[in-house]
Amino acid sequence: MTRRRMGAFPVVVLVLGLFLAYLGAGNVDRSIRALRADGDPGRFTAAAQDCVNHFGHVSCTCYGDYSADDGSVEREWVYLSGGDFACEEGSVSAAVDIGAETRVYHPDGSHEWIATAALILAGLGMAAWSVVPWARAVLRARVHG
């Protein structure tokens, strides 16, 4: 009876896949809170805009200051994520602080859950890809032997 062993490459892919799934799972709570805009309501005052142009597409990030409606939180130099907001210096928009270190969110929420879900699914897919051939060989050996 020959025994099939996992090679080094599938083991590396398995470890990397599980690590990616672990990283994604750590962001599930924040991604759901961002989707629902579940946090402290407040106001975001725009201070600057940073834009990058890549492959014919312009992507801009609006930086500014956030203050909670109840005055309990003031955060400087964070960026506003999600929603449709024209970032002009001094313009004010409603925002929600969900506890993310570098950003606050538009009350319409954010779609960052998509990246979190993709990271988890990619990690689990990589892990499955690396384990399935080994699991088949083990099952075949048990059935035939």
Residues with Cβ within 8 Å of 61's Cβ and at least 6 positions away in sequence, in order, are 49, 50, 51, 79
Instruction: Kindly give the interhelix angle for 113-143 and 8-25, rounded to the nearest 10 degrees.
Output: 140
pLDDT at residue 104, as a whole number:
96
Alpha helices in the chain (DSSP H): 8-25, 28-36, 113-143
Percent above pLDDT 70 for the chain: 97
State the average pLDDT over residues 67-73.
94
Rounded to the nearest integer, the mean pLDDT of the chain is 91
pLDDT at residue 4, as a whole number:
60
pLDDT at residue 134, as a whole number:
86
pLDDT at residue 3, as a whole number:
58
State the average pLDDT over residues 90-118.
94
pLDDT at residue 1, as a whole number:
47
Q: Residue 145 pLDDT > 80, yes or no?
A: no
SS3 state at 144: coil
pLDDT digits (tens, 9 = 90+) for 8-38: 999 999 999 999 999 999 999 999 999 999 9
Neighbours of 112 (CB within 10 A): 19
- Pairing verdict, β 40-54 and 74-81: unpaired
Whether the CB-CB separation of 12 and 129 falls below 8 Å is answered with no
Distance CA 100, CA 15 (A): 28
Confidence (pTM): 0.78
**Amino acid code (one letter) for 47:** A
Which band of pLDDT confidence, cut at 50, 70 and 90, is reported for residue 142?
confident
